[in-house]
C-alpha cells in the first residue's frame, strides 16, 4: 500500500472537514457518513471508531440539547449537527490513524504552516502528554491506597475523589499564577487577571465553565477514553 505523506494527510483532513461543515442537508450527511463508515470497516478500524464514538457521546448529547433549544432549526438543526460530528469522528479515525507527533511536525512543514502556529500546536500536544502522565500517577496512587479504578462510568465515589484532586490542583494553580502575576506587576504589567482572589472564585462563571470542561477531560483520561 502506498504511504501517504503527512502533509497530504493534513490537506485531505482539511478538505474533508470543510466539506462536512459546508453540507446543509441531512440526507447528504447520511450518505457521507455511510461512505466513511464503510471505509473504516474496510480498513479494519471499526473497533477504534466505536471507541471514538463512545468518547464523543457527551458532545453528541450536547448537540441534541442544543437542537432542542434552538429557536429556528429545532430538531432539524440538532440532527444536522449530530451527523456532522459523527462524520468528523469517522474522518478523523481514517486520516489520523497511527499519526504520531513526528508526522505532525513533518506534515505542518510540508503544508507550509507558520512557525508560531506550529509551536502552539506542539505545545498543546506536549501539555496533553504531561496531563496524561499526571493522571497515570493519580491512578497508580489511588490503586496503591486500595481505591477502585475503572469500575464503570457512573462510580460516584470515584468521581468525587477526582473532583477533590481537581479542586486541589486548581487552588495550587491559582497560587502559582498569583505569584507569577505579582512578579509581572513589579515589572510593569498593568492588566487585571481572570480571578483576583479565592473569595470571588465562585462568582466567576467563566472559570466555572473551564473547570467543568477540565473535569470532563480528567474523567475521560481516567477511563482511558482518550489515550
**DSSP of 76-104:** HHHHHHHHHHHHHHHHHHHHTTT--HHHH
CA distance 227 to 220: 9
3-class state of residue 197 by DSSP: coil
- Measure the CA dihedral 181/167/141/132, to 10°: -60
The CA-based diameter of the chain, rounded to the nearest angstrom, is 61
Same domain, 17 and 91: yes
Classify residue 22: in a domain, yes or no: yes
- What is the pLDDT, as a whole number, of residue 214? 55
Of 107, 139, 169, which marks where a domain is finished?
A: 107
Cell 502552539 -> residue: 120
Classify residue 119: in a domain, yes or no: no
Q: How many residues does the chain have?
A: 227
Contact 224, 55 (CB under 8 A): no
- What is the pLDDT, as a whole number, of residue 1? 47
Same domain, 10 and 100: yes
- What is the pLDDT, as a whole number, of residue 131? 61
Of 54, 84, 107, which marks where a domain is finished?
A: 107
Same domain, 12 and 80: yes
- What is the pLDDT, as a whole number, of residue 208? 52
Same domain, 11 and 102: yes
Same domain, 155 and 102: no
Domain hosting 17: range is 6-107
CA distance 52 to 211: 23
Classify residue 142: in a domain, yes or no: no
Same domain, 100 and 179: no
Name the residue among 84, 75, 76, 96 with its Cα closest to residue 32: 84
Same domain, 35 and 86: yes
Classify residue 19: in a domain, yes or no: yes
- What is the pLDDT, as a whole number, of residue 165? 62
Classify residue 138: in a domain, yes or no: no
Same domain, 82 and 170: no
User: What's the gap between Cα 178 and its chain centre?
Assistant: 27
Same domain, 154 and 88: no
- What is the pLDDT, as a whole number, of residue 151? 47
Same domain, 86 and 153: no
Counting the structural domains of the chain, the total is 2
Of 107, 128, 160, which marks where a domain is finished?
A: 107
Same domain, 103 and 182: no
Classify residue 132: in a domain, yes or no: no
Contact 88, 37 (CB under 8 A): no
Read off the C-alpha cell for 100.
504520531
Classify residue 55: in a domain, yes or no: yes
pLDDT string in tens for the chain (227-residue length): 456 677 777 778 788 888 888 888 888 888 888 888 888 888 888 888 887 777 777 777 777 777 666 666 567 777 888 888 888 888 888 877 777 767 777 777 777 777 777 777 777 666 666 666 666 676 677 677 766 555 454 455 555 666 666 666 666 666 666 776 677 777 776 655 544 444 444 444 455 555 555 555 555 554 444 43
Same domain, 158 and 209: yes
Number of other CB atoms surrounding residue 3 within 10 Å: 6
Distance linking the first and last C-alpha atoms of the chain = 27
3-class state of residue 31 by DSSP: helix
Contact 51, 105 (CB under 8 A): no
Classify residue 64: in a domain, yes or no: yes
Amino acid at each position: 500500500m502506498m504511504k501517504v505523506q503527512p502533509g497530504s494527510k493534513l490537506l485531505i483532513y482539511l478538505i474533508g472537514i470543510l466539506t462536512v461543515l459546508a453540507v446543509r442537508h441531512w440526507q447528504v450527511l447520511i450518505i457521507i457518513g455511510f461512505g466513511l463508515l464503510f471505509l473504516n470497516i474496510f480498513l479494519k478500524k471499526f473497533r477504534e471508531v466505536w471507541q471514538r464514538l463512545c468518547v464523543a457521546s457527551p458532545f453528541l448529547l450536547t448537540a441534541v440539547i442544543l437542537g432542542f433549544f434552538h429557536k429556528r432549526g429545532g430538531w432539524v438543526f440538532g440532527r444536522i449537527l449530530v451527523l456532522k460530528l459523527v462524520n468528523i469522528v469517522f474522518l478523523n479515525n481514517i486520516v489520523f490513524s497511527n499519526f504520531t507527533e513526528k508526522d505532525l511536525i513533518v506534515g505542518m512543514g510540508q503544508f507550509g504552516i507558520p512557525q508560531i502556529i506550529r509551536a502552539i500546536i506542539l505545545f498543546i500536544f506536549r501539555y496533553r502528554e504531561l496531563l496524561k502522565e499526571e493522571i497515570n500517577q493519580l491512578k497508580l496512587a489511588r490503586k496503591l491506597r486500595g481505591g477502585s479504578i475503572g469500575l464503570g462510568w457512573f462510580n460516584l465515589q470515584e468521581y468525587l475523589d477526582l473532583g477533590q484532586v481537581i479542586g486541589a490542583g486548581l487552588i495550587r494553580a491559582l497560587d502559582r499564577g498569583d505569584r507569577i502575576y505579582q512578579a509581572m506587576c513589579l515589572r510593569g504589567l498593568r492588566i487585571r487577571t481572570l480571578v483576583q482572589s479565592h473569595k470571588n472564585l465562585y462568582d466567576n462563571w467563566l472559570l466555572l465553565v473551564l473547570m467543568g470542561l477540565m473535569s470532563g477531560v480528567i474523567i475521560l483520561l481516567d477511563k482511558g477514553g482518550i489515550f
